[in-house]
Structure 1
Amino acid sequence: MMAEHSTELPDSWRSTELSEIAVINPTIDKASIPNTLEVSFVPMPAVEAGTGVINVSQTRLFGEVKKGYTPFQEGDVLFAKITPCMENGKMAVVPQLKGGVGFGSTEFHVLRPHPGISKNYLYYYVSSESFRREAEHNMSGAVGQRRVTTPYLTTRKLPLPPEQEQKRIVAKIEELFFELDRGIESLKTAQAQLKVYRQVLLKHAFEGKLTAQWRVDNADKLETADDLLKRIKQERTQRYQQQLAEWENGGAQGSKPKAPKDLSAIAADELTELPKIPTGWKWIRPEEICAQEPYAIGIGPFGSNLKVSDYRESGVPLIFVKNITRSDFASDLKFIDDSKYAELTPHSVKALDLLITKMGDPPGDCEIYPEGSPNAVLTADCLKFRLWNEFANRKLYKFCINSNLIKRQLGLITKGVAQKKISVERFKTICLPFFCVEEQNVLLQELEAKLSECDQLEQALTSTLQQAAALRQSILKKAFAGQLVPQDPNDEPASALLARIKAEYSA
Structure 2
Amino acid sequence: MSSESKDSVENWVPPTPEVPDYWETPDFTDLIENISTNGIKIPQKSYLQAGTYPVIDQGQDLIGGYTDDDTKILNDLGQVIIFGDHTRCFKLINFDFAPGADGVKVLKPNDNIDPKYIYYSLKTLQLPNRVYSRHYSFLKKSKLPPPPTNEQKRIVAKIEELFSELDKGIENRRTAREQLKVYRQAVLKHAFEGKLTAEWREENKDKLETADELLKRIKQEREAYYRQQLEEWETKKQSKKPIKLKDFNSPKTSKFPINSISSAWILLPLEQLAAEAVLGKMLDKQKNTGVAQPYLGNINLRWGCFELDNLKTMKIEKEETARYSLKKGDLVIFEGGEPGRCAIWNGEDNTMFIQKALHRVRFTQSYNPVFAYYFMVYAIKTGSLERSFTGTTIKHLTGKGLSLYPVSTSWTE
What TM-score, normalized to structure 2? 0.68
Cα 1:247–1:419 change in 2 (3 A) is closer
Structure 2: distance between partners of 1:272 and 1:208: 14
Cα 1:92–1:433 change in 2 (3 A) is farther
Q: Secondary structure at the match of 1:199?
A: helix
Give the AA of the match of 1:286.
L
Correspondence 1:393 to 2:368: yes
Correspondence 1:259 to 2:253: no
Structure 2 counterpart of 1:51: none
| Cα contact 2:379–2:385 (8 A) shared by 1 | no
Give the AA of the match of 2:331.
L
Q: Secondary structure at the match of 1:402?
A: helix
Give the AA of the match of 2:144.
P
Structure 2: distance between partners of 1:172 and 1:394: 53
From 18, 36, 41, the equivalent of 1:8 is 18
Structure 1 counterpart of 2:311: 334
Correspondence 1:297 to 2:297: no
From 391, 398, 403, the equivalent of 2:378 is 403
The residue correspondences of 1:362-441 to structure 2 (distance < 5 A) are 364-372=340-348, 375-378=351-354, 383-403=358-378, 405=380, 408-410=383-385, 420-436=395-411, 438-439=412-413
Correspondence 1:351 to 2:328: yes
Gaps of 5+ in 1: 48-53, 141-148, 440-507
The residue correspondences of 1:206-285 to structure 2 (distance < 5 A) are 206-225=192-211, 227-237=213-223, 240=226, 254-262=239-247, 271=255, 273-285=257-269
From 150, 157, 168, the equivalent of 1:182 is 168
Q: Which moved more, 1:173-182 or 1:74-83?
A: 74-83
Q: Secondary structure at the match of 2:362?
A: coil
Report Cα offsets for 1:228-284 as digits up to 9, x if no partner.
Answer: 335434544465467657766x5765455442234888999x936422122231333
Q: Which moved more, 1:238-247 or 1:191-200?
A: 238-247
From 115, 122, 147, the equivalent of 2:109 is 115
Larger radius of gyration: 2
| Cα contact 2:293–2:316 (8 A) shared by 1 | no
Higher relative contact order (Cα pairs below 8 Å, separated by 6+ residues) = 1
Cα 1:163–1:200 change in 2 (3 A) is same
Give the AA of the match of 2:329.
L
Structure 2 counterpart of 1:288: 272
Q: Which moved more, 1:12-21 or 1:393-402?
A: 12-21
| Cα contact 1:353–1:384 (8 A) shared by 2 | no
Structure 2 counterpart of 1:485: none
1:211 positional shift: 0.4
Structure 2: distance between partners of 1:45 and 1:224: 68
Q: Secondary structure at the match of 1:386?
A: strand
Instruction: Provide the aligned C-alpha RMSD in A.
Output: 5.2
| Cα contact 1:349–1:384 (8 A) shared by 2 | no
Correspondence 1:38 to 2:49: no
The residue correspondences of 1:484-495 to structure 2 (distance < 5 A) are none
Report Cα offsets for 1:6-25 as digits up to 9, x if no partner.
Answer: 64344534376699836599
1:426 positional shift: 3.6
Give the AA of the match of 2:246.
K
Cα 1:217–1:414 change in 2 (3 A) is same
Structure 2 counterpart of 1:124: 120
Structure 2: distance between partners of 1:4 and 1:124: 17
As a proportion of its length, which structure holds more helix? Answer: 1
Structure 1: distance between partners of 2:246 and 2:399: 17
Give the AA of the match of 1:260.
L
1:173 positional shift: 0.6
Report Cα offsets for 1:187-244 as digits up to 9, x if no partner.
Answer: 4433332332222112211221100111222223333556533543454446546765
Structure 2: distance between partners of 1:418 and 1:82: 42
Cα 1:275–1:379 change in 2 (3 A) is same
Give the AA of the match of 2:278.
I
Structure 1 counterpart of 2:3: none
Cα 1:242–1:167 change in 2 (3 A) is closer
Structure 2 counterpart of 1:469: none
Report Cα offsets for 1:137-169 as digits up to 9, x if no partner.
Answer: 7263xxxxxxxx351355233524157244332
Structure 1: distance between partners of 2:268 and 2:30: 69
| Cα contact 1:351–1:375 (8 A) shared by 2 | no
What TM-score, normalized to structure 1? 0.58
Cα 1:173–1:218 change in 2 (3 A) is same
Give the number of aligned pairs. 386
1:171 positional shift: 1.6
Identity of aligned residues (%): 30
1:323 positional shift: 4.2
Cα 1:252–1:431 change in 2 (3 A) is same
Structure 1: distance between partners of 2:123 and 2:295: 39
Structure 2 counterpart of 1:455: none
Q: Which moved more, 1:170-179 or 1:37-46?
A: 37-46
Cα 1:111–1:172 change in 2 (3 A) is farther
Gaps of 5+ in 2: 1-6
